Amino acid sequence: MEPAFGEVNQLGGVFVNGRPLPNAIRLRIVELAQLGIRPCDISRQLRVSHGCVSKILARYNETGSILPGAIGGSKPRVTTPTVVKHIRTYKQRDPGIFAWEIRDRLLADGVCDKFNLPSVSSISRILRNKIGSLAPQGAYDAGKAAPHAPPQPALPYNHLYSYPASKVPTPPGMPALPGHMAMHRIWPSSHSVTDILGIRSITEQQSKSCCACVSRAGEEGQEELQGARARASQARRTADVLEKVKRDPA
């Protein structure tokens, strides 16, 4: 069962072991740092360990994102991007192809050897989860950008520890920056949490501009179009996350 209350650290702050700090606190840490407050003072003020403050600020400086990384999961052992790509190709060339036929072709084409050849059920899963969503409309978002995140994710933990967009993978076209929560280092002039959290307007603009990208991208090939769609979707998700934090800063 999920703990209703966290533990208390040396500074008297409450935390839940293994779980990220709430977005509002992460945001506050970055905000205070932007104001020139020393990390040690941020640590004391927010009752968060200085190691944590250090980590969050380092991550922010490196990626521009305040969000924690994706927790859990494991590296694909057989369903590597190369394998998925080949399966997608086979399926596109022959939509009626069977999973066992794909399996044979992966082996015959040297994509896999007998040790890392996916099972028929694995191939079926790939077809269902990754290839099956190749439908033109919203294919990227539904099948790849958020393979297991519902459009309006239920709070996975409790309101204090929700971070709904945390599992959104970085789509192609946004390689270095986990842009799902990137702040772009643009900060409102006001210093209150409310105003800091009011950066929705920024992300809305980002979303709109990305939508414009989508409309322009039609001539630039399917890859570009998908990337632009993904960015627009990312920006909208960011706005949603921030709105949620804004409504419930705790």
- Smallest gap, in angstroms, from Cβ of residue 183 to DNA? 15
Q: Is 78 in the site for DNA (CB under 7 A)?
A: yes
Cβ-based nearer residue to DNA, 54 or 133:
54
Among 35, 62, 76, 82, binds DNA (CB under 7 A): 76
At 71, which amino acid appears?
Answer: I
Quick note: the x/- pattern for DNA over 128-167, rule CB under 7 A, is -------------------xx-------xx---------x
Among 24, 27, 32, 48, binds DNA (CB under 7 A): 48
Tokens of 240: 């949603």
Cβ-based nearer residue to DNA, 55 or 208:
55
Q: Is 176 in the site for DNA (CB under 7 A)?
A: no
Tokens of 103: 């399996």
Cβ-based nearer residue to DNA, 130 or 217:
130
Strand pairing category for 14-15 and 7-8? antiparallel
Query: What residues contact residue 210 under an 8 Å CB cut-off, 6+ apart?
Result: 228, 231, 232, 234, 235
CB-count burial class (<10 Å; 0-12, 13-18, 19+) for 148: exposed
Query: What residues contact residue 110 under an 8 Å CB cut-off, 6+ apart?
Result: none
Cβ-based nearer residue to DNA, 99 or 228:
99
- Our CA angle for 134, 138, 142, nearest 5°, is 75
- Smallest gap, in angstroms, from Cβ of residue 55 to DNA? 6
Of 145, 147, 91, the residue nearest 123 (C-alpha): 91
- Tokens 């991208």, residue located: 217
Q: Is 70 in the site for DNA (CB under 7 A)?
A: yes
Alpha carbon distance 190, 148 (integer Å): 37
- Helix, strand, or coil here: 43? helix
Q: Are 87 and 102 in contact (CB under 8 A)?
A: yes
- Tokens 């015959």, residue located: 108
Q: Is 179 in the site for DNA (CB under 7 A)?
A: no
Q: Is 39 in the site for DNA (CB under 7 A)?
A: yes
Q: Is 81 in the site for DNA (CB under 7 A)?
A: no
Strand segments (E) across the chain: 7-8, 14-15
Q: Is 79 in the site for DNA (CB under 7 A)?
A: yes
Q: Is 189 in the site for DNA (CB under 7 A)?
A: no
Cβ-based nearer residue to DNA, 10 or 189:
10
Q: Is 95 in the site for DNA (CB under 7 A)?
A: no
Q: How many residues bind DNA (CB under 7 A)?
A: 46
Among 68, 132, 143, 173, binds DNA (CB under 7 A): 68
Q: Which residues bind DNA (CB under 7 A)?
A: 2-3, 9-11, 13, 15-21, 26, 38-41, 48-52, 54-59, 68-79, 147-148, 156-157, 167
